[in-house]
Amino acid sequence: QTINECPKETCSQLTCSAGYLRTGKCGDDQTRSNNDYDCKPCAAGTLRLANSVNECEPCPAGRYQNATGQASCHACKAGSYCLAGASAPLPCRAGTHSSATNLKSPEECTLSAPGFYAPTASLAQIPCPAGTYSGLVLTEHTASHSSPLPPTSLLPSPVPSPSPSRS
């Protein structure tokens, strides 16, 4: 066998390294000498373990992979969540926060309490400074910052209780 000659392994025994997928087909004589065989890296957001089935699998929810050709996925970072197959963490929305890692959905980010706010990708809620407020808005979104208190002239004045009527 010369240096330029391909080994006479059977095509079914040819494998790719972890993180890579075997593509193409074996040659007519089932040897590597005349096939169209190649190893391609798994896409970002996927992985392939060594000796696993010949397909790239999505990273599980709570984990991500930003590079190609990988055999593992990273833990999702605090202040973010990772859906299945994520190639990057997604930030917790403004008005939510989390110091936990491996969050799997935006619903796992914690809503900030009234009197606190949280910018996008916050690890913790922040108390509103004196003279400001933040509260839940009547939509799916919450305050991402504190607002100044309105002037007292704009606050509704108390309505007197009705007097009991005498008959």
Q: Is the pLDDT of residue 2 over 90?
A: no
* Closest to 109 measured CA to CA, from 132, 83, 70, 127: 83
- The rounded distance, in Å, linking the Cα atoms of 65 and 62 is 11
Q: What is the pLDDT of residue 53?
A: 74
The better pLDDT of the pair 59, 4 is held by: 59
Q: Per-residue pLDDT tens for 100-152?
A: 999 999 999 999 998 899 999 999 999 988 887 775 443 333 445 555 544 43
Q: What's the whole-model pTM score?
A: 0.69
Give Cα separations from 9 to 5, 23, 35, 59 (angstroms).
Answer: 12, 17, 12, 32
